Amino acid sequence: MDFIQRESCGKCIPCREGTRRMLEILERITRGRRNETGVQALERFQGMMYLNRLAEVIKDTSLCGLGQTAPNPVLSTLHWFRNEYEEHIFERKCRAGVCRELLTYRIDTEKCKGCTACAKKCPAKAIMGTPKSPHYIIPDKCIGCGSCVATCRFDAVIAE
Amino acid sequence: MNIQVNGRTIEAKRGETILTALRRAGINVPTLCYMESLLPSGACRLCVVEVESQRNLVPSCAFPVADGMKIKTHSPRVVRARKTIVELLIAGHPDDCLYCVRNGTCQLQRLADELGVRERRYAGMKNDYKIDTSSASLVRDPAKCILCGKCVRVCEEIQGVSAIDFINRGCRSRVATAFDRGLNVSSCVNCGQCVMVCPTGALREQSSVKEVTDAINDPNRIVIVQHAPAVSVTLGEELGIKAGTDIAGIMTAALRQVGFDRVFDTSFSADLTIMEEASELAHRVANGGVLPMMTSCSPGWIKFVEQFYPDFIPNLSTCKSPQQMLGALIKSFYAGREGIDPRTIFSVSIMPCTAKKFEAERPEMTQNGIPDVDAVLTTREAAHMIRRQGLDINALTPETADTPFGERSTAGKLFGATGGVMEAAVRTAHFLLTGQELADLKVHPLRGLEGVKEAHVKIGDLEVGVAVASGLKNAAALLEQIKAGRKDIHFIEVMTCPGGCIAGGGQPLGTNTDSVRRRMQALYDIDRDGTIRVSHKNEEVQRLYTEYLGKPLGERSHHLLHTHYARREAMV
């Protein structure tokens, strides 16, 4: 969507304004709840209510092929993967593991060797533990950046 | 050929668009970017309709009719699409309708109401744009722009100026001048045609209402107002009277009620312009001066020549425009006669024009550092002041303008429409050169709304070729012909706006071809029924010459009524 929004020439209204609003709606549901205000939460729900309608109108009224096909990925995912959208909104989860802010991280105590690499990398100091014994992530401190996953050499950090 | 619309059969002509057929049948489809005389752009998508066998909705403004076509103009699918488009526009639009100059006349506001938009569904980021107030005539507020492109098209395709165009792309695209500089340093000629077509408050005139109000409220200032020939036939429309009604007398009464101390008629100085201009033409013809001579009443046209055709500057008549002539006389002759210090005079003009605001600020248009005209109001602003005063114009009794600049010939009144200056000039030139009046005062080939009109007029033994152009693109085409060596034209009248001042950039919003035609007819009717129909018979003009000016092109005229022009660099 970001790509399409950048490629839009800006001549016709549905493509120029519509793709921008679609992108905003989609970005809202991928964002974490941590700093979300009440109004933003309402906007998140409101946007989703109108996403389908917006996508259909853009497809129906755009001037050229770019705008006419721009909403297709949204429309088809809304059709085939509706449950994933619902999970994003209600359970605040991304099962594909793409929306980083929606992931929660935990450490598999079986796999963790206590090497402390992740705790050193963690920018929020959210990982606790003594060397050579399994570590823990404090969910309230975790900012969901994913650097622990990238650091761990034992695949002990699980994102879900 | 027949097409079916909403189950009803209507007739259509081969080659026309669906929209044209629908409008003729009285079926209204909303549009934001459609312009009658130009090719469709298909940008706003509000005119979409459902056509059977077409997968998507089609824009009716750009889609040709076909025999047996089945169209739905207001099906739920279509209405939902239109509503969503308006909602998308509103999502990025400022929420300041209450303060907006177009509150009540905004097409976006009207459409939102028509389609029942009652909430902001698509909340999101708004663009943060700066307002451009650099121009003397116009204000541009890109935040309110919906990018319909009408201003860009009128500037390029009708005026041939191309001062503004789209810059950037996608949701960052907007309308701007070359290099995104201020309008004041652009090639804009201030004609205001962009304001006339703008559906929202993104373009408006630089308002002088406050200055004028302050001057009226100042007991030490004498506020004098003059009104242009085209104003009396259009002001009524802003006040709820039908197009093409002349309300000169009522307007005079209303202006006095608003608080103006003297009310003069610019048509008086239009007569004076004719005396000067016709004499100048006769002088040029007799002494082998630069021909063809070109009129100089329209300030947009003057700036256009200075920028794009500086080689033709010697062809321009040196006469100031009627507004500036009267302004100069008020602060010299009139102030002297009445014993008023010219510095206490606040001279206001009501013009159908935004470029006049620029003209009044030109440094040449001053005497001893005092500007000839202090403030220019457009017809719209004048109507606003009258409304604000709570005046019911139906209850006012017509009054006559003040002397000495209240008397006019109907030739001066004709200045309001394209061809009018020429017609008035031909009448007077005929008299000046032959000593006799023209047999038929109505010069038929110079009337009507065509962009370019030409005539060869017999004045005594002399055959004078005259041409009239309105709309700068038409004027530019004429100039190109002359550049290419055309010799049969001696005198050219140019009005910046297509149709002349009656369709000027300061006129009531919602001006269309029909209303312009009615206004034109109103001027012609005034001329038909008038008693003095030639400028040289205006007694006050003659008295002015005997008492003060001497003779046309004389010493005093030269100082007060004539000016000069200079090449201007323009970013193109």
Helix/strand/coil (H, E, C) string of B374-405? CEEEEHHHHHHHHHHCCCCHHHCCCCCCCCCC
Percent of chain A with pLDDT over 90: 44
Q: List the pLDDT tens digit at each of the 572 positions of chain B.
A: 899 999 999 999 999 999 999 999 999 999 999 998 899 999 999 999 999 999 999 999 999 999 999 999 999 999 999 999 999 999 999 989 999 999 999 999 999 999 999 988 888 888 889 999 999 999 999 999 999 999 999 999 999 999 999 999 998 999 999 999 999 999 999 999 999 999 999 999 999 999 999 999 999 999 999 999 999 999 999 999 999 999 999 999 999 999 999 999 999 999 999 999 999 998 998 888 898 999 999 999 999 999 999 999 999 999 999 999 999 999 999 999 999 999 999 999 999 999 999 999 999 999 888 999 999 999 999 999 999 999 998 999 999 999 889 899 999 999 999 999 999 999 999 998 888 888 888 888 999 999 999 999 988 888 899 999 999 999 999 999 999 998 899 999 999 999 999 999 999 998 899 999 999 999 999 999 999 999 999 999 999 999 999 988 988 999 999 999 999 987 66
Q: By the CB < 8 Å criterion, does A17 face chain B? A: yes
- List of domains in chain A: 2-91 (1.20.1440.230), 103-159 (3.30.70.20)
Contact B124, A50 (CB under 8 A): no
**DSSP-derived pairing of the beta strands B491-495 and B462-470:** parallel
- Mean pLDDT to the nearest integer, A1-26: 91
Kind of pairing between the strands at B2-5 and B70-72: parallel
Assess A63–B contact: CB distance below 8 Å, yes or no: yes
Q: What is the rounded distance in angstroms from the CA atom of residue B180 to the CA atom of residue A41? A: 38
Give the closest residue to A18 by CA, choosing from B91, B88, B92, B93: B88
Task: Give the C-alpha separation, A67 to A9, whole Å.
Answer: 10
Backbone angles phi, psi at B165, to 5 degrees: -160, 175
> Catalytic positions of B, please?
277, 280, 297, 317, 356, 359, 364, 501
ipTM for the whole complex: 0.86
pLDDT of B89 reads 95
Q: Label residue B559 left, alpha or beta by phi (over 0 means left) and psi (-120 to 50 means alpha).
A: alpha
Please name the member of A5, A53, A62 whose beta carbon is closest to the beta carbon of B171: A5
Going through A15-88 in order, the beta strands assigned E by DSSP cover none
Q: At CB < 8 Å, which residues of chain B contact A? A: 41-45, 48, 56-57, 59, 77, 80-81, 84-85, 88-89, 91-92, 121-125, 146-147, 149, 166, 168-173
Type and span of the H or E element at B247: none
Q: Are the Cβ atoms of A13 and B123 closer than 8 angstroms?
A: no
- Spatial CA neighbour of B50 closest among B79, B26, B24, B30: B79
What domains lie within chain B, and their CATH numbers? 2-74 (3.10.20.740), 89-205 (3.30.70.20), 210-561 (3.40.50.1780)
Among A9, A18, A47, whose Cβ lies nearest the Cβ of B88? A18
CB-CB neighbors (< 8 A) of B91 in chain A: 17, 21
Closest residue of chain B to A43, computed from CA coordinates: B123
Q: How does pLDDT run across A57-109, given as a tens digit for each residue?
A: 999 999 999 999 999 999 999 999 999 999 998 888 888 888 888 888 889 88
Q: How much is the pTM?
A: 0.91
pLDDT of residue B572: 60
DSSP single-letter state for residue B96: -
Distance between CA B157 and CA B16 in Å, rounded? 21
E strand or H helix at A105? strand A105-107
* Residue range A15-53, pLDDT digits in tens: 999 999 999 999 988 887 777 888 888 888 888 889 999
User: Do B359 and B325 contact (CB within 8 A), yes or no?
Assistant: no
For residue A96, give how far its alpha carbon lies from the nearest alpha carbon of chain B (Å): 27
Q: In the numeric block, which tokens belong to residue B508?
A: 């009531």
Unique residue bearing structure tokens 């189950």? B7
Token representation of residue B471: 């709309």
